[in-house]
Chains A and B, each alone.
Chain A
Amino acid sequence: MTTQTMNGTMETAQDTGVIRLAAGDDWFAVCDRSLLTPGRGVAALLPDGRQVALFVDRAGRMYAIDNRDPFTGAYVLSRGLVGSEGGQPFVASPLLKQRFDLATGACLDDDEVSVPVFEVRAD
């Protein structure tokens, strides 16, 4: 049903199912897919206390990056706006607007900055 791609993104054709994040050796169940609005993110709490920003795009692809904005230290990336440039999806931090590639976590406005990426899938 689903095909896992590199960089933790994955594709699915439906919008039901449970979203899972790779946590250690396990796939940690986060929530039902239907709770996500395309183009918008939500934050999820991992058992070890880490915060993850989860996004789903128009095509239904899911992405997961760290929720902490490295520029301000605030845990807010899940509340940014999603966009794409040349087919590459990104989120713009809601605080000072730096953009982060959702697939790689790289900051598009500063070569030296990136955020961790998480593997995500839905079943």
Chain B
Amino acid sequence: MPVSTFPTAHTATAAAVPTIVVVGHGMVGQRFLEALADRGLTASAGTARVVVLCEEPRPAYDRVQLTSYFSGKTPEDLSLVEQGFMEQHGFELRIGDPAESLDREARTVTARSGETFRYDTLVLATGSYPFVPPVPGKDTEGCFVYRTIEDLLAIEEYAKTATTGAVVGGGLLGLEAAGALKGLGLDTHVVEFAPRLMPVQVDEGGGAALLRTIENMGLTVHTGVGTQEVTAGDDGSVNGMSLSDGSSLATDLVVFSAGVRPRDQLARDCGLAVGQRGGIIVDEECRTSDPAVFAIGECALASDGRVYGLVAPGYEMAQTAAEVIAGKEASFTGADLSTKLKLLGVDVASFGDAHGTSEGCLDVVYADSRSGVYKKLVIGQDGTLLGGVLVGDADQYGTLRPMTGTVLPVAPEQLVLPAGAGGPVTLGPSSLPDEAVICSCHNVTKGAICEHTTLPEVKKCTKAGTGCGSCVKVIGQLLPQSQDKGLCGCFSYNRSELYEIVRALEITSYAELLDSHGREEARGGEGCEVCKPTVGSIIASLAPTVGASGYVLDGEQAALQDTNDHFLANLQRNGSYSIVPRIPGGEITPEKLIVIGEVARDFGLYTKITGGQRIDLFGARVDQLPPIWARLVDAGFESGHAYGKSLRTVKSCVGQTWCRYGVQDSVKMAIDLELRYRGLRSPHKLKSAVSGCARECAEARGKDFGIIATAGGWNLYVGGNGGATPRHADLLAQDMSDAELVRLIDRFLMFYIRTADRLERTSTWLDRIEGGLEHVRDVVVHDSLGLCDELERLMADHVRGYRDEWAETINDPERLRRFVTFVNAPDAPDPSVKFVPERDQVKPDLDILAGPVLAIRTLEGTAS
């Protein structure tokens, strides 16, 4: 039975609500507050008074993502506290007012402001402080630590006048700090006392692989040497370091990252038990030696004798303490120290007994210094997997870690060898237990799925995959694999292979491609709804280069397009269409706005501002599309390609011209880019945005290619995505001129179009292709494949060949013929397309379509 120092929610009375004082509003402190709120222990609920003493000048933020400040995240972006959270729950947050002393007898905490708070329960969440080795000169101007936003602001400011930086410590955080210094343009050194980098996480071989990769990035690494002194120049600021091997290193700036120590001083001062090497001793309930005081997060020495320097165990402690304080049972007995990180773009993972300390264990190691890949599995005498280290390629982490403690189903060497050398055997979902739930919409287990052999069968018999559709990929992996990576039943090639075939052989007809390169059984047939639009898109992307018509509805190409492209508009649920004229960069004259308004009014269209800075007109019948477009084209509008797998919009913020913060003309750049890439057909839709400064009002990092202005030019970010699986774009290159930017985007887009799969956005493509962002950077920035000239030429061809599809259509009676509802009654409007009023506009009349409504087949492909 847990001893509660605290009445449970329903027994508390408003008159005597107990007070919880939280010292430290860091990551774990905030999680603790959320856990209290979840359990109804709040002032608003009338069950507790909660006071939070926060030392830093801002509420809790994501320290784990601290470094992303240097890639454009603002301190506000990093905040962990949802707007209104404190007010909603009545938590009293005292920013910039740290606790200075505790009186356990009186149960009071005194803050720096002088105010004293009485507590019933005290929770210490004070985190750690960076350890600075006691070397002479450690306090010289130009020496920093790397823990808080304030530290980063100070480093950033100081780096403006520095050219060289050194990081003391080659562990996890040291490498992260080194990456940041490099990003600030400093010539960067890492000094590590141990003989290898990341001594805690990886073993010698892993450290060596990491070293090579990091050196290849242009950082200088000194291992096996200690820092003896920080030296100062005449002006009193840092000018170098002397090292234990007698050498010296000239540097303008030093960042100490030699580990962290628990902040247990408050606890020590008031006589709470602390560990020999620091850390406030707590039991499984996270209670200290005083039952009214809890300690959680990095300041605590957990009951398993460990101080955890990771956030996940801290979060578990926060949950445990909150649960116990609420009068329930909970315990924290220790956590897994497995880690998977992307350090400076290098995958590093370690799990279980990574160092092979168990008796009689064996290592199975694969190392390739050229590619910087190192993989080690630690295997027990009886064949059980005990742990491992993966550097450079950590894809198997997800499946290997859960298998720790079990005997591997295949020979371990098969798991570490690369393809072509007897491996790799990837342990996908096949290694999950039968009881694992695969489809959470319908609660279907792996066992139930594996009774079937095809996806349609699984869907029919178990319903798995018929809800949100997100499990379909895993189901596919569980079903018997045909080893067939082909696009569909008609082609054994994938999209990028077909792209190469079309390009090399200059094939301009789908039928020709199907009959010459299709699967034997598909040749001469009709093809299918998967490969037809895919090939249609490939031919359209390459049209000027292979000599096909650039007009997607010419000849046979017309038969390949999805219905949206076929009518150059977006099909709606009642069979009507929507129209989205292009509004480059979101900039539009009043005259043009008026035309859109008039057209919408005259044709009775529903009008809506889209999320892409333009205007969508809904509810046009097929036969109304040409007259509507005749008016729009006349007023200077072009197709917005809302229907195509092609460039959608390049959003802009108002930028330098008007905005007090702007540093470049983001509107002009957005318009230029939109006009350059309009009409470009691609594997999936392409979106872009340009922001005039790092405040990022255009949300460029949510786009396939996003541009953010800097004082020195433009930064290009790639691989961003909103939608179902959001992803922030990664920085590809910095501070480019207009011309450099455009050239790099040309290359990037053409490389994507060439190598991506069907319906693969840049985000998934970037995560899938071997080598990821680094590889793409090698190809498009450093021209490692010698492709750049060709990529640029392909784009130049596209830009030269662009014509507005709608202008071409309305000027050609032959092409206009398809825009009728009925082939035998061209003047008859579609009787099933009807509307009813709603909020002063119209909406589809679905009653006339009514009939049995049946389940949808799949999510994929439902979009234009």
Chain A residues within 8 Å of B, Cβ to Cβ: 30-31, 35-40, 42-45, 49, 51, 54, 57-58, 68, 70-76, 79-87, 89, 92, 94-99, 109-111, 113
The answer to whether A73 and B862 touch (CB under 8 A), given A79-B563, A109-B857, is no
CB distance from A69 to the nearest CB of B (A): 9
Residues A40 and B525 in contact in the complex (CB < 8 Å), given A31-B824, A74-B574? no
Report Cα–Cα, A31/B826, bound state, in Å: 11
Cα(A43)–Cα(B831), bound, Å: 12
Considering the complex of A and B, which 8 residue pairs feature the smallest CB-CB distances, nearest first?
Answer: A73-B849, A83-B528, A39-B559, A94-B563, A84-B526, A92-B529, A42-B823, A74-B575
Residue-wise, chain B 387-409 has the 8 Å CB interface mask toward A (1 for contact) of 00000000000000000000000
- The answer, yes or no, to whether B310 is at the interface (CB within 8 Å) is no
Q: Is the CB of B562 within 8 A of A98?
A: no
Contact A97 B529 (CB under 8 A): yes
Max chain A CB contacts within 10 Å: which of B527, B533, B575, B853? B575
Residue ID in chain A nearest B817 by CB atoms: A35
Q: Which residues of A contact B698 (CB under 8 A)?
A: none
- The answer for the CA separation of A30 and B527 in the assembled complex, in Å, is 27
A89 / chain B contacts, CB cutoff of 8 Å: 526
A87 and B529 alpha carbons, distance in the complex (Å): 15
Tell me, rounded to whole Å, the shortest Cβ–Cβ distance linking A31 to chain B. Answer: 5
Most buried by A among B526, B533, B573, B861: B526
Q: Does A95 lie within 8 Å of B526, measured CB to CB?
A: no
A-B contact pairs, 20 of them (CB 8 A): A30-B824, A35-B817, A36-B823, A39-B560, A42-B823, A51-B832, A68-B832, A70-B851, A70-B852, A73-B853, A75-B849, A76-B575, A79-B567, A82-B526, A83-B532, A84-B527, A87-B525, A89-B526, A92-B528, A94-B564
> Please, how many angstroms separate the alpha-carbon atoms of A86 and B563 in the complex?
24
Nearest opposing residue in chain A for B846, CB measure: A73
Min C-beta distance of A42 to chain B, whole Å: 4
- Complex Cα distance, B529 from A96, in Å, reads 12
* Nearest neighbor of A35 in chain B, beta-carbon distance: B823
Interface residues in B178-212 by Cβ distance below 8 A to A read: none
Report the separation of the CA atoms of residues A36 and B820 in the bound assembly, to the nearest whole angstrom.
13
User: Cβ of A74 and Cβ of B823 under 8 Å apart?
Assistant: no
Asked if B571 lies at the interface with its beta carbon under 8 angstroms from chain A, I say yes
Q: How far is the CB of B564 from chain A (nearest CB, A)?
A: 8
Q: Among the listed B456, B527, B571, B574, which residue makes an inter-chain contact with A109, where contact means beta carbons less than 8 Å apart? A: B456
Residue of A nearest to B860 (CB): A97
Interface of B is mostly: loop
B828 at the A/B interface (Cβ < 8 Å)? Answer: yes
Q: Are B852 and A99 in contact (CB under 8 A)?
A: no
Q: A70 and B854: CB pair below 8 A?
A: yes
Given A58-B526, A94-B562, A109-B456 in contact, is the A71-B823 Cβ separation under 8 Å?
no
CA–CA, A20 to B610, complex, Å?
A: 44
| Interface majority SS (helix, strand, loop, mixed), chain A | loop
Q: Which residues of B contact A35 (CB under 8 A)?
A: 817, 823
- For residue A109, which residues in chain B have a CB less than 8 angstroms away from its CB? 456, 857
A37, B823: Cα distance in complex, Å: 12
Q: Give the residues from 840 to 864 in chain B that come closer than 8 angstroms, CB to CB, to chain A.
A: 846, 849-858, 861-862
Cβ A81 vs Cβ B857 within 8 A: no
Chain B residues in 8 Å Cβ range of A86: 521
How many chain B residues touch A (CB < 8 A): the figure is 52
A sample of 19 more A-B contacts (CB under 8 A), given A72-B573, A81-B532, A96-B857, is A31-B824, A39-B527, A39-B556, A39-B559, A40-B559, A43-B821, A43-B822, A44-B823, A44-B824, A57-B526, A71-B856, A72-B853, A74-B573, A74-B832, A81-B562, A83-B527, A95-B571, A95-B573, A97-B861
Binary CB contact string for chain B from 498 to 528 against chain A (1 if under 8 A, 0 otherwise):
0000000000000100000000011011111
Complex CA–CA separation, A35 to B571 (angstroms): 22
Known: A75-B830, A79-B566, A83-B532. Is A97-B575 also a contact (CB below 8 A)? no
Q: How far is the CA of A85 from the CA of B528 in the complex (A)?
A: 8
Q: Are B823 and A31 in contact (CB under 8 A)?
A: yes
| B423 located at the interface, meaning its Cβ lies under 8 Å from any Cβ of chain A in the complex | no
In the assembled complex, the CB of B344 is this many whole angstroms from the nearest CB of chain A, namely 43
Q: Which residues of A contact B556 (CB under 8 A)?
A: 38-39
Complex-state Cα separation, A68 to B832, whole angstroms? 10
**Min distance, Cβ A38 to any Cβ of chain B, angstroms:** 6
Residues in B with CB closer than 8 Å to A75 are: 575, 830, 832, 849
Is B823 a contact of A96 with CB atoms below 8 Å?
no
Distance of A40 from chain B, by nearest CB (Å):
5
A54 / chain B contacts, CB cutoff of 8 Å: 823
Query: Who on chain A is nearest to B459 by CB?
Result: A109
Chain A residues in 8 Å Cβ range of B846: 73
CA distance A100 to B414 in the complex (A): 45
Instruction: Report the separation of the CA atoms of residues A51 and B663 in the bound assembly, to the nearest whole angstrom.
Output: 59
Question: B825 in the interface, Cβ–Cβ < 8 Å?
Answer: yes
> Are B529 and A74 within 8 A (Cβ)?
no
**Interchain CB contact under 8 A, A81 and B529:** yes
When distances are taken between beta carbons in the complex, the residues of chain A under 8 Å from B575 are 74-76
A96 and B527 contact, Cβ closer than 8 Å, known pairs A43-B821, A45-B825, A79-B566: no
Tell me which of B511, B571, B817 contacts A94 (CB under 8 A): B571
Least Cβ–Cβ distance between A17 and chain B, in angstroms: 15
